[in-house]
């Protein structure tokens, strides 16, 4: 099974800003002077860890941020990005340790910037969030207690989001979105990446169980 199409699509839509360009964005869009910047891992967006210089106007504010440049495809759906941003604000107000959204100089949550790539003009939605220090869960030894805590937070998150309302909430519905939990069967076309080993067998079993036990009951589940 070929994976070239997916990889090519990702390469075409993922931003490729340099650190100098990203620093200039932070200053021009958000009015903050960068003293240090470095790339962060990302899938199809581009993220930077940004440290800013303290000024008389930013003495009491945070000095570490994450600059998030959405890929060119996602940037075509500003309603979706808007809803995501308001969810972050909503969860923070509800007591979850989420980042804070930094507003642009024009007092907006996002800014659409256009770049001439030579062959075409590409547009990207840009956001700035406060930086949350920590370790990715992939770097932490897994224990039953840790898995319990993850489940507990996920359940609390789900219950809290029942109260979230937004006029553009329907933008979250993307039928073939690979990260939508109801689309677990879509993972089958990526099984080749696991080769022929025990991990692949486990994933195949999980996908089949999902088909048998979950897909048949999807109509009984609340989507959001």
Domain stops at, among 115, 130, 145: 130
How many helices (H) and strands (E) would you count in the chain? 5, 6
* Residue 146, domain member (yes or no): no
E strands, 70-202, are 101-102, 111-116, 121-130
130: nearest Cα among 181, 175, 88: 88
Query: What pLDDT was estimated at residue 222?
Result: 73
What residues contact residue 133 under an 8 Å CB cut-off, 6+ apart? Answer: 64
Question: Considering the domain boundaries, does residue 92 fall inside one?
Answer: yes
CATH number, domain at 39?
3.30.200.20
CB 169 within 8 A of CB 83: yes
Q: Which residues contact 78 (CB under 8 A, 6 or more apart)?
A: 110, 112, 125
* Gap between the Cα atoms of 102 and 127, Å rounded: 8
Question: Looking at the structure, do residues 113 and 42 belong to the same domain, yes or no?
Answer: yes
Q: Which residues pair with 124 in a beta bridge?
A: 113
Please write the tens of the pLDDT for every residue from 89-131: 999 999 999 999 999 999 999 999 998 877 788 999 999 999 9
Q: What are phi and psi of 60, to 5 degrees?
A: -95, -5
What distance, in Å, lies between the first and last C-alpha atoms of the chain? Answer: 34
Q: Specify if 161 maps to a domain.
A: no
Is the CB of residue 124 less than 8 Å from the CB of residue 70? yes
Helix (H, G, I), strand (E, B) or coil at 213: helix
Let me know if residue 154 belongs to a domain: no
Report which of residues 36 and 54 the model is more confident about: 36
Structurally, how many domains does the chain consist of? 2
Which of 65, 96, 130 is the last residue before a domain boundary?
130
Q: How far apart are CA 148 and CA 78, in angstroms?
A: 35
- Residues 124 and 218 grouped into a single domain: no
Assign residue 67 a region (left: φ > 0; alpha: ψ between -120 and 50; beta: otherwise): beta
pLDDT-derived band of residue 174, with 50, 70 and 90 as boundaries? confident
Structural domain contains residue 155: no
pLDDT tens column, 41-87: 888 899 999 999 876 665 666 789 999 999 998 899 999 999 999 99
Per-residue model confidence as pLDDT tens digits over 134-167: 888 889 998 999 999 999 999 999 999 999 999 9
Count of CB atoms situated within 10 Å of the CB of 159: 9
Whether 192 is covered by a domain: the verdict is yes
pLDDT of residue 2: 35
Range of the domain at 187: 173-224
Q: Report yes or no on 66 lying in a domain.
A: yes
Are residues 111 and 214 located together in one domain of the fold?
no
| pLDDT > 60? residue 10 | no
């Amino acid at each position: 099974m070929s994976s070239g199409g997916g990889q090519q699509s990702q390469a075409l839509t993922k931003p490729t800003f340099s650190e100098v360009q990203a620093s200039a964005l932070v200053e021009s869009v958000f009015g903050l002077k960068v003293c240090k910047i470095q790339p962060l891992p990302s899938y199809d967006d581009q993220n930077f860890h940004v440290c800013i210089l303290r000024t008389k106007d930013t003495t009491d504010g945070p000095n570490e941020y994450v600059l998030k440049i959405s890929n060119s495809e996602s940037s075509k759906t500003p309603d979706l990005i808007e809803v995501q941003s308001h969810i972050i604000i909503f969860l923070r107000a509800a007591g979850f340790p989420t980042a804070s959204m930094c507003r642009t100089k024009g007092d907006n949550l996002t800014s659409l910037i256009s770049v001439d790539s030579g062959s075409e003009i590409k547009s990207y939605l840009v956001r700035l969030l406060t930086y949350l220090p920590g370790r990715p869960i992939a770097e932490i030894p897994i224990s039953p207690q840790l898995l319990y805590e993850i489940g507990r937070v996920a359940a609390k998150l789900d219950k809290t989001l029942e109260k979230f309302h937004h006029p553009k909430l329907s933008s979250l519905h993307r039928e073939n979105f690979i990260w939508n939990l109801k689309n677990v069967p879509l993972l089958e076309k990526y099984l080749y990446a696991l080769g022929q080993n025990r991990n692949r067998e486990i994933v195949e079993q999980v996908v089949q169980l999902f088909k048998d036990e979950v897909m048949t009951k999807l109509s009984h589940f609340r989507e959001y």
